[in-house]
Structure 1
Amino acid sequence: MQVIIISGLSGSGKSIALKVLEDTGYYCVDNLPASLLVVLVNHLQTQHHSHVAVAIDMRSGDNIAILPSQLEIIDKGIQTEFIFLNTRTDTLIQRFSETRRKHPLSERNITLEEAIQYEREALTAVSSLGHHIDTSSLRPNALRAFIRDFVSSKRDPTQLTLMFQSFGYKHGIPLDADLVFDIRCLPNPFYDPLLKELTGHDPDVIHFMESQPNAVKMLRDISNFLEAWLPAYIQDNRAYLTVAIGCTGGQHRSVYFVEKLALYFRDNAHILVRHRSLAEYHQHYARR
């Protein structure tokens, strides 16, 4: 039996994630009080449900604080995965303003920004339980793809999941990054008119990067660092490690680096690849 628990800030995309899991064949339960998690799992196990997804968040109040202890009680024979959705405060304020929805904590007679901050602090204890996804700059389709990739990956639950993520600094540093490498000091293909509208996936950009001695050296240095310290992260019983590689726009250099690193470490851990900014570039050039 596999149980996926989804939590995170209000407005971060939990409903989208739960709907994706439902469409994938999971038995889904929304807004479950944390105190009922073990009861629900035990009941569904007797009903022979093999794939279950549960959303637990602040809608059930401060009861969520007992979630870590509830997870420890669940039968060790049941595979549990935890996904926490995080989003920047300014993005959440914009989303609530656009949808005109009330924040679940708005009844406390506080401002929207205060409600978001209170919720963020209240979720601190559970935010470190599993895999983080920063949805600040993710469109709904991109989040759906992230969730599908996560659940479709057939991995050994005891094996570390190593996620390489490219991003553009002009869009902000991902909130879900454990390690961040800044490669903006390297030559930028963006300023070559023939490469400007390409990405780090394209052969011409790959050739450009591989012809730059500093790019080759930095890629080797990052690989050596990760190779030296990855065993320590594994011994720390981490389930996930997110390595973010950032350039200015997240289109050329960081994409190239992420693809190369994913290929290099494919035999050392379960690998996931994310390119946060590529969808925005593709949409921009499609409109031109």
Structure 2
Amino acid sequence: MHLVLITGMSGSGKSVALNALEDLGFYCVDNLPPELLLPLIKLERANEAGNLAIAMDVRSAASLPQVPSQLAQLKIQGVQVDCLFLDASTDTLMRRFSETRRRHPLSKTDTSQNINDQHRALAEAIELERELLSELRADAHVIDSSIIRPTQLQSYVKSFIDAPGEQLTLVFESFAFKRGVPNDADFVFDVRMLPNPHYEPGLRDLTGCDRPVIDFLQQQADVQTMLDQIHTFLDHWLEAMAHNHRSYVTVAIGCTGGQHRSVYLVEQLNTLFAPRWSTLKRHREMAARHPDQLGSEHVATRVV
């Protein structure tokens, strides 16, 4: 049996992730109380079920602490367990709750309160939720949904499922600093000091995946130095992280626009590490700008 446990912040896109897994043929259960996890697994295994996806959230806060031990028990029984945690910035979550006018599960907001008090209460509820879910987040693969489209999130989830669960998976993600650092990053490298193809008229509208940009950046000594140093750093520490039972390590590469330098370096790093490690690559800004033109290989690609 393959069990995918989806947790995360309220308003971060858990229903979108669950729908993506349903499209992949998973039997999906939303808002399952932790007390019912083991009985449900026992029932589904008796029915010879294959793929099961379960969403849990802070509505079961009182019993969430028992989940890590339950998952450990299931792994001993031979169940493949993958944990996915969806996150988003506090500002994003507050905006989403304001737009939908839904109450946060932990909110004690009184409708008679003025707008400032309501916002303060919502912010406090979100921070409390982060604290309650911190243990589950620590052992899960984290996806930051703050500024990505639902279609991007679905693509990320499907690539996450494809990655082998028995070994550490490297996630390389390009991004633009002007749109914020991804919350799911374990390591962040700033490459804004490198020569920028944006200022070359013939390269401005291209990306780091296009040959003219690749040729330009490969001619820059500083770009190669940066690539070599990131490669050396990660290569030195990955074995230690794998021995520490890390399942996922997300490496975010940021430049100004998330189109040229960061994309190029993500592509190069993915190529360097793919022969030895399972890898995923994501180009956050490219997918946001051109959701219809880009193929899935530019959004979230698995390499084993």
Describe how 1:115-264 pairs up with structure 2 within 5 A.
115-153=125-163, 155=164, 157-264=165-272
1:17, 1:238 → 2: CA distance? 22
Cα deviation 1:75-132 (Å, max 9, x = unaligned): 5211000000010000011111112222112247672111111111111111111211
Contact 1:38/1:73, CA 8 A, preserved across alignment: no
SS in 1 for 2:64: helix
1:178, 1:106 → 2: CA distance? 30
Describe how 1:25-174 pairs up with structure 2 within 5 A.
25-76=25-76, 77-107=78-108, 111-153=121-163, 155=164, 157-174=165-182
Moved more, 109-118 or 85-94: 109-118
Contact 1:16/1:144, CA 8 A, preserved across alignment: yes
Taking only aligned residues, the RMSD between alpha carbons, in angstroms, comes to: 1.8
1:130, 1:281 → 2: CA distance? 28
Cα deviation 1:37-71 (Å, max 9, x = unaligned): 11111111111111000001112232212211221
Tell me the CA shift for residue 191 of structure 1: 1.6
1:178, 1:90 → 2: CA distance? 21
**Could you list the runs of 5+ residues in structure 1 that have no partner in the other structure?**
none
Between the two proteins, what is the percent identity of the paired residues? 48
Scaled by the length of structure 1, the TM-score of the pair is 0.94
**Could you list the runs of 5+ residues in structure 2 that have no partner in the other structure?**
111-117, 294-304
Where has structure 1 moved over 3 Å in runs of 4 or more? 107-110
Cα deviation 1:176-207 (Å, max 9, x = unaligned): 11111111110111122221111111111111
Contact 2:109/2:122, CA 8 A, preserved across alignment: no
Contact 1:182/1:247, CA 8 A, preserved across alignment: yes
Residues 75, 145 of structure 1: alpha-carbon distance in 2 compared, 3 angstrom cutoff: closer
SS in 1 for 2:281: strand
Tell me the CA shift for residue 282 of structure 1: 2.9
Residues 108, 266 of structure 1: alpha-carbon distance in 2 compared, 3 angstrom cutoff: same
The AA in structure 2 aligned to 1:9 is M
SS in 2 for 1:277: helix
Match of 2:12 in 1: 12
The AA in structure 2 aligned to 1:189 is P
2:237, 2:106 → 1: CA distance? 41
2:166, 2:159 → 1: CA distance? 18
Residues 129, 175 of structure 1: alpha-carbon distance in 2 compared, 3 angstrom cutoff: same
Contact 1:251/1:281, CA 8 A, preserved across alignment: no
Tell me the CA shift for residue 35 of structure 1: 2.0
Contact 1:223/1:261, CA 8 A, preserved across alignment: yes
2:75, 2:68 → 1: CA distance? 14
SS in 1 for 2:49: coil
